[in-house]
Homo-oligomer: A and B are copies of this chain.
Amino acid sequence: MIKQYYMPTRVLMGEDCVKANSSEFLKMGKKALIVTGKHSAKINGALDDVIDVLSSNGQKWALYDKVMTNPTVESTYEGAAFARSENVDFVIAIGGGSPMDAAKTINLLACQDIPMDKLYDGQYSDEILPMILVPTTAGTGSEVTPYAILTNNRLQTKKSIGSPILFPQIAILDAKYMDNLSKEITINTALDALSHSIEGMLSLRANPITDSIALESIRRISLCFESLKSGRLTRAERFELLYASTLAGMVISNTKTTAVHSMGYSLTYFHDIDHGRANGLVLGEFLKYIEKSWPERVNEILSAMGYGTVNEFIILLDELLGDREKLTDEQIEKYVSITANSSNAKNCRVVLSIEELTEIFKNSVNK
């Protein structure tokens, strides 16, 4: 079977990376659309850094700071209308997965007339504005992926659009924007990145290049397990998690995700559980069931974390996740049905049965 590795985004990294790369912003055009959520980009200093650079470059900008958490398809059309009205040349996104994914979609919809019922077809022309993405959490990896994950109310789940044109031109990594992230967000985003690398290794599309990147990503996140428990991370550890999440993004750019993400989407859609936490809730039990038919691969993953058994990993997850959410049998039945029909679940080398998915859900919650 032929496999592929492709990740054309330039990654710039280091302390004060935005300001050190003002010339990269200058090359992009005369006027930027800056896409952020409502608050965090203003608080963590990233928006100020970007505006300082644009100002000193003599570039104009329009700020779209209305991105909601888990942005809906509908909301991105509003953002696209704003982008069109502002006649921008390029797009800068600052934030976690929600602003970055919204920015990609807003960019696409500002450049191309795509009716809502065709958005998921992936049949786009090449028209898109260049993008610079500045992640302010270490989880999503969206800064190096060709995906945007949107909440789809018609399908009652989150679902991604994907196209090579959605790869940003530049990703800028500076962990200083993460210094004041809460313990909860730090843990949830780290679990999201960990899940990306683990799922990448279990994907039908996994290949030796993505495996290599995934294993190192897992190792780097594991170095921070103890600090994650306390929520007190040094700047160096923040950088480790940021690099690991970008590496994990490079993995899923090629492998896509598996049933963990699909299960997590239901938990987020119906229970408003944070995306990273939702993945973390099911990840341990999922690995237990994968281990039954692919023990060698699960062992590679565990070894990279310094564990010998899945249960050791589950003990860590219990500590990081705290009290788990409660689900009824009816709810589980519904989410299993959604998961079993998802393309993510079919993307795993081990496709789990309805019974197995049900047991994973049951063992993952109510404890």
Chain A residues in the interface with B (C-beta under 8 A): 1-14, 17, 20-21, 207-209, 211-213, 215-217, 220, 239-240, 243, 246-247, 250
A145 to chain B, nearest CB (A): 15
- Tell me the complex Cα distance, A209–B141, Å: 13
Contact A208 B4 (CB under 8 A): no
Interface centre among A8, A207, A213, A216 (most CB of B within 10 A): A216
Q: Assuming A3-B13, A209-B250, what are 12 further A-B pairs, CB within 8 angstroms?
A: A2-B21, A3-B14, A4-B13, A5-B10, A5-B11, A7-B7, A211-B216, A212-B213, A212-B216, A212-B217, A212-B247, A213-B216
Query: When the two chains form their complex, are residues A6 and B10 in contact, meaning their CB atoms are under 8 A apart?
Result: yes
Contact A208 B243 (CB under 8 A): yes
Q: How far is the CA of A207 from the CA of B208 in the complex (A)?
A: 21
**A17 x B2 contact (CB < 8 A):** yes
Q: Are B8 and A4 in contact, CB atoms less than 8 angstroms apart? A: no
Residues of B within 8 A of A211 (CB): 216
Asked if A209 meets B1 with Cβ closer than 8 Å, knowing A10-B6, A11-B6, A216-B216, the reply is no
Establish whether residues A13 and B17, one from each chain, have CB atoms under 8 Å apart when the complex forms.
Answer: no
A10-B14 in contact (CB<8A): no
The chain B residue with its CB closest to the CB of A4 is: B12
Q: In the bound complex, what is the Cα–Cα distance between A282 and B8 (angstroms)?
A: 34
B2 x A208 contact (CB < 8 A): no
Contacts of A207 in B (CB 8 A): 13
B21, B215, B239: the one within 8 Å of A208 (CB): B239
Given A216-B215, A243-B208, is A13 in contact with B6 using a C-beta cutoff of 8 Å?
no
Chain B proximity of A131: nearest CB distance (Å): 15
A10 partner residues in chain B, CB cutoff 8 A: 4-6
Please, which residues of chain B bring their CB within 8 A of the CB of A208?
Answer: 13, 220, 239-240, 243
Residues on B with beta carbons closer than 8 Å to the beta carbon of A217: 212
- Residue from the list B4, B9, B13 in contact with A2, Cβ < 8 A: B13
Q: Contact between B12 and A2 (Cβ–Cβ < 8 Å)?
A: yes
Chain B CB within 10 Å, residue with most, of A3, A12, A212, A240 = A212
CA distance A57 to B9 in the complex (A): 31
